Each structure stands twice: as structure tokens, then as C-alpha cells.
Amino acid sequence: MPSYSTEHLLASRDPTRPIGPFDGRVAAHISPHPALNYICTTPNQDWIPVPPNDGFHSLRLRVDLRYGVYDYTLHPQLDIDFYCHHAAIPRRPTSPTDPLSIMWWDPTDQDFVTASGGILLGVGHLSKDKVDRFQALEQDIQKRTQNYRETASPSPCRETLDLIAIIATALSNSIIRLSSLKTPYTQMRFTVTEFQRYFLEMRGLLDYMEIYKPRMLGLLPAASSADPCIGAFTYNELVAQHFHRAGLPVWLLRPWDGEPVSNNILCVVQPTLPDARMEDYDPPFPTVYSGKLGVPAAINSIHAFSRTWLSCKNPFKSSALPSSSNQTVSSSSSHATTSGPSAPRGGGSGRSQVSKKPTKVIQSGRDKFKPLESHLAPFPIPAWSLGLAAVNQSPELRLTDKTTAPQLAFYAFPDPALLISPKEDSKKAKLLTTWLLCRDAWNSAMTSKDSLAMSSQNWRDILFQDFTIIPEAKDTKASESRLKALAKFAPKDLEAFRTEPQYATGQPMTWRGRQYVPGTLPPVQVVREILWELYELNFTYELISLDQHACEGLDLENETALYEREADFIIPCFTALSYKRPVINLPDKNEGLASDTMPERLEFVLAMAKLMSSWRGEKPAIFDLHKRRLQRSISREQASELEKEVARFYCQTLYNYFGRAAQIPHRLYQPL
């Protein structure tokens, strides 16, 4: 009968011999089940954490908004080949003065600065001193990341580069939300822990690629001791050898029959339970993964949840959008008159019979297919203005119906023209005041609700409300109207987010930290900044939604595929600072698609051509320029023509799906 005794574990103990990868400075007998017995040894640690068992586990955020014993930034996990860098994540420093200690810090109510002004009580932001510390660390790790991308030799494989890009983007998005977006307390805490998790994962990934992997391969000398990292459990002897040579903490699990052990084990210890919070948050977060650990799906689920729970939702989400966008659509000519996909209404097959001349619909009020003419408006971009004016508004080109997909005709943010539509400056100022009072609340709601886009009339009704005056008790109609409007701006779960609508009585008009007198029109450039931001946000959300409708073969149920599509095709259409939803930094100069010179714009025009090349419909042949490896091989004339065709195709395609004029990019500053 086998004897699982300490004497059998120490049968080959010899303190004079060096400890190899299969030996143990310490060891433990692990028996998760009477029929299962393992030895857990470590050649480079003095303790053994309780290893995860082989059963099914449920992963979800706990009371501290971390994943408890399953959080790979806090506790050793089973080694996963694709995520082997998790073992290189730094361990929590023992000194609170260590610059890295903030990556395990938990915010409290005292770190939450409640926003003044606005129609939603309970939104705010992380204190500036903590944001500053996070930003400094983020800038350092991003510089190191960029340097690794440019100088690594040999160059990493495509999968590693993709993972680096995903983590770097998520890290950047997190710090932008912390520094710029006002949210409820729970969302702030969530963003803090997401930033910490992504930072530590990036640090571990870079350290693994630059330090530990070269040691494993013999390109650097082997480590004499283990570094203060998280480490990993493994059943694989080769992994134990690699980690031991690299200086990564490793715990090797092997079946044990109870017989005397031939490996050199110096000491037997009791496994240590991890110090982890496993209580649920109130209310509990959803389970992101159920199943066995030690598989990529578990980590993928954590990544996917962080991208979706606090990512900006789809304001145009409609039941009419199929789970796959691989529907067959015939297309018309790629010229400006019929550019973009077209089909008979109702989705019938065959080429639409469309007049060669653009059909113009008689409209009441301002023609939204023409630039906004006002000294307060941002500056139009000629190619985009021409593309919008050239849209063929023939009803036969419509690919969706208002009765089945009404959301597509709506706006994620107010049409900028609405805010300056009154003739009197006082009324313009009132609309601007109302929007700025609503802005933080709307941005917050955009991270918690789908299908928020509203019609122009709905936006008009809301912006003409006066949220600075509490209705009299007898004025029930006005009160109901305002409360209904306020509810639209509230997060999805008021109880979970500890927020409530309020009237902004006596609140100043605030724009990016600057306060202005309500009822008085701010300086021209300030108004222009407000309108420019709305154009940019509307364009960004419309582009993402349109891509999901028009891209051939895109699986809309696959969150990972959508995220990769966004990272690979949509983000390159914007500058690094402009693609931040729902907060956009004001640039110091015209940039991206709005750059003043064609050479500066070309990179982003080519990205748009590449993106739209996978859309349904007959594309202009000039779109193939995006396949050229060298931009300098493209002449100025070709670049100018490509820009015009990109704008035309985009504006026409959006009309075909949305049934309205596109919100197009503008310049914030007078072009040079």
C-alpha cells in the first residue's frame, strides 16, 4: 500500500547537491481527490501556493473588481502556451513606496472626485494625483512597447505582435477614460483595475520577450535565482526547465504513487492559500467563463469582457442587423452618382435601375447634404463636402427600411447644426448650455447602453428642455417631460452605478475645464470646438456601425473578430488621439483626414480605402492604391482623386444603409 509520507518525499534529500529544475527547495503533497495524488516541487521558491484543481471554475469580477484566486496578475496560474508571459508579470512589491505598487492599489470613495455641473448626480473621476501616476507609468510602458516593436531582433511572430497591439490599445483606452471621462464610481473602479491588469500584462509580456525568453534560448546567461514574478504551475517538465533557466518562479506538478521520490527535495511544506477576495460585488458581475482553467479560452474571456462591459456600445444597434453581414447585395456603378452598394428595396436581386444623375430629395429646413454655413461652424473639407453633395438619394438605393431598422436614421450625438440653428445668440447659447450639461451624462450612458441613437426631433426636444429650472409642483406636464429626458441619460443600472438624475440649477456652462456664463454665447473658437467634437463622434460611431453592416463575411456574434476588425481596419483611419470614444482630445492642429496637406492626409485616406475595400458593392479601381507598400509611389494627382472617391463611396454607402446624410469629418482650425 502506497505511503504518501514526508519521509518518502525526502528520501533523496541532499543539501550539498545543486537544485535542478525537477528538484525541490520545497515540495508538497497535493491530493485534490482521494484517487489523485501529486507532488508539487519548486526549484526556486520557498513556498507553494495551493494549485488550481482540474474541475470546472466560474470566472467573474469579485468585490474588489478583480478575479479572485483566478486573477493572473495576483496569483500563479496554470501555464498556458500562448499566455506563457503571465509568469513574468511582476509580483506585488513589499514596499509601498515602490513606483509599481500603485498597480495593486484599490481606490476608495475618497479617491472619487464628484463632477460639478451636469444633469447626473454621482458621476465623477479619479483624483488627479492618481491619474498623474498612472499616466506617467503608461507613457513609459508605451515607449518601451514601441521601441520593442521597432528594434526586436529577431522580429516577433504575427500572433505576438497582434497581442501587443491589443494590449497597448486597451491600455491607452483605459488611461484616456480615467483622465477624460466622467463616470459613475463603479465604472471608475472597473477602469482602474482594467488599467492595472493591462499594464501588468504588458510589462510581463515585454519582460518575457526581452529577458526571459533569451535566457531560455541560451542567448543570455541563465539566471542564478528567481526574479520577483508571479510564476506559474505546470505539468510539463520542459516548461519547468525553461522557467528554471530563465529565473521565473515555477511549480511542477507530477503524479505520485506514494513511493520514495528520487529527486532532491530539501523541505516539505503545507500549500499556502492565496489571499484573495472571493465575495461577489453587489450586484454581482456576470460570469465571463465557466470551465477548466489552463486553457486560452479562460484568458480570452477575461479580455473580451473588459472590451465589452465598459466599451462604448452600439448606438445604432437594431434587431434588423443580422448575426452575419454576409448578405448578397448587387451594386451599381462606382461613380459618384451611384457609388456604394445598391439593391431594390426589400433586398431583391438584380441591379438597381438608377438614373445616372443623382436624385435629390426635396427637404424642408437645412439641406444636410451641404456644408453647415456659419462662422461658428468647423471648417469643411472640400473632398468630403463634394462627396456628400454627390450622394444619389434615389429611394431604390436604400438597403434598409425605416420600419425594420429605424435606429439607423438616428444620431448618436446631436447634429452640430441643431445647436446653432436659432437666429438669436441667446437661444444658441441656451442649446449649447443644455448640451454641455448633458454631455458627461450622455458619454457615461454610451458605455452602458446599446441603441441610444435618437432622431433629430428627439434631440431637439431634449436640447430645448431647461434642466436648470425645477418645474413647479403643479406643472406636471413639464416635469414628466424633463424627467423622461433625464432618464435617457442615466446609466443602465442606477442602483449598481449609484447615480441619479438631477436638475442642474445654478450650474455654470463648462467646457473642458473652462466655465462660461450660462445664456451667453461662448467665444467663437469654443463653439467651434464643441461642434467639431460632435462631428468627430458622430463620424466615428457611424463608421463603426456602417462597417458592421457593409463588411462582407463579418461575424457580428464574434466579439474577438469585431475587436480585431476595429483594431486592424478602423483605428488606422484616425490619429492616435482622435480615436477615443466617447471622449476626443482637441488637437493642436488639423490632423488625420482633416490634415492641411495631402501628404499628411494620405495615410488616413489609404486606411479608409483599405477598410471599404471589404465592403459590399463595386468599389472604385483607385482603391487598390492601398495595396502599395510605399506611399511615395502615389502621385499627388492620384492621392487627390483617391480622397474624392473615398469620400464619395463612404457618403453614398452610408446613405444606402442609414437613409440620411453622413456626419463627415471637419477641420477644427482654418486650413493653411
Question: What is the signed CA dihedral for 152, 158, 163, 169, rounded to 10 degrees?
Answer: 80
At 576 the pLDDT is 65
pLDDT 10s digits, 622-632 = 999 999 988 88
305 and 416 share one domain = no
CA–CA separation, 32 and 38 (whole Å): 9
Reported confidence tier of residue 329, pLDDT bands at 50, 70, 90: very low
643 and 517 share one domain = yes
Residue 571 in domain = yes
Angle between helices 158-180 and 185-207 (to 10 degrees): 150
% of the chain residues with pLDDT over 70 = 84
Residue 484 in domain = yes
At 105 the pLDDT is 96
Reported confidence tier of residue 374, pLDDT bands at 50, 70, 90: very high
**pLDDT for residue 64 is more than 50:** yes
Last residue of a domain, one of 309, 332, 357: 309
262 and 402 share one domain = no
Residues near 389 by beta carbon (within 8 Å), at least 6 away in sequence:
369, 370
pLDDT 10s digits, 268-279 = 999 999 899 999
Residues near 634 by beta carbon (within 8 Å), at least 6 away in sequence:
602, 625, 628, 642
Cell numbers for 658: 442609414
pLDDT winner (highest mean) among 108-122, 256-270, 495-509, 544-558: 256-270
At 346 the pLDDT is 35
Residue 332 in domain = no
Last residue of a domain, one of 309, 336, 363: 309
pLDDT winner (highest mean) among 43-57, 117-131, 330-344: 43-57
At 54 the pLDDT is 74
| Domain housing 559 | 379-667
CA–CA separation, 481 and 479 (whole Å): 5
Last residue of a domain, one of 285, 309, 333: 309
63 and 143 share one domain = yes
Cell numbers for 500: 441619479
% of the chain residues with pLDDT over 90 = 59
At 359 the pLDDT is 62
Sign of CA dihedral 626, 629, 633, 636: positive
300 and 384 share one domain = no
Residue 356 in domain = no
Residue 364 in domain = no
Q: What DSSP string runs through 172-207? A: HHHHHHHHH--EEHHHHHHHHHHHHHHHHHHHHHHH
Q: What is the residue-averaged pLDDT of the chain?
A: 86
| Structural domains of the chain, count | 2
Lowest mean pLDDT: which of 203-207, 208-212, 270-274?
270-274
At 483 the pLDDT is 65
Residue at grid coordinates 463611396 = 649
250 and 108 share one domain = yes
Say if CB 372 and CB 417 are below 8 A apart.
yes
Give me the mean pLDDT over the 541-545 stretch.
93
Question: What is the signed CA dihedral for 43, 48, 54, 59, rounded to 10 degrees?
Answer: -120
45 and 165 share one domain = yes
295 and 431 share one domain = no
pLDDT 10s digits, 465-516 = 877 666 555 556 666 666 666 666 665 554 445 555 555 556 677 888 788 8
Residue 28 in domain = yes
> Where is pLDDT greater, at 220 or 494?
220
Give me the mean pLDDT over the 529-549 stretch.
95
Cell numbers for 625: 492604391
Residue 325 in domain = no
Lowest mean pLDDT: which of 25-29, 82-86, 479-483, 555-559?
479-483
Determine if the peptide bond prior to 249 is cis (ω within 30°): no
At 312 the pLDDT is 65
Lowest mean pLDDT: which of 201-205, 458-462, 484-488, 611-615?
484-488
Buried b (16+ CB within 10 A) or exposed e, 317-332: bbeebeeebeeebbbb
CA–CA separation, 196 and 670 (whole Å): 40
**pLDDT for residue 260 is more than 50:** yes
* Closest of 434, 417, 428 to residue 520, by C-alpha: 428
CA–CA separation, 544 and 559 (whole Å): 14
Cell numbers for 375: 462662422
SS3 track for 413-439: CCCHHHHCCCCCHHHHHHHHHHHHHHH
CA distances from 274 to 50, 91, 92, 97, 594 (A): 7, 13, 13, 23, 53
Reported confidence tier of residue 425, pLDDT bands at 50, 70, 90: very high
Residue 322 in domain = no
172 and 302 share one domain = yes
285 and 420 share one domain = no
Say if CB 566 and CB 308 are below 8 A apart.
no
287 and 419 share one domain = no
At 364 the pLDDT is 56
59 and 163 share one domain = yes
Count of CB atoms within 10 A of residue 521's CB? 20
Give me the mean pLDDT over the 448-475 stretch.
76
pLDDT 10s digits, 573-614 = 998 655 656 767 889 999 999 999 999 999 999 999 999 999
pTM of the complete model = 0.75
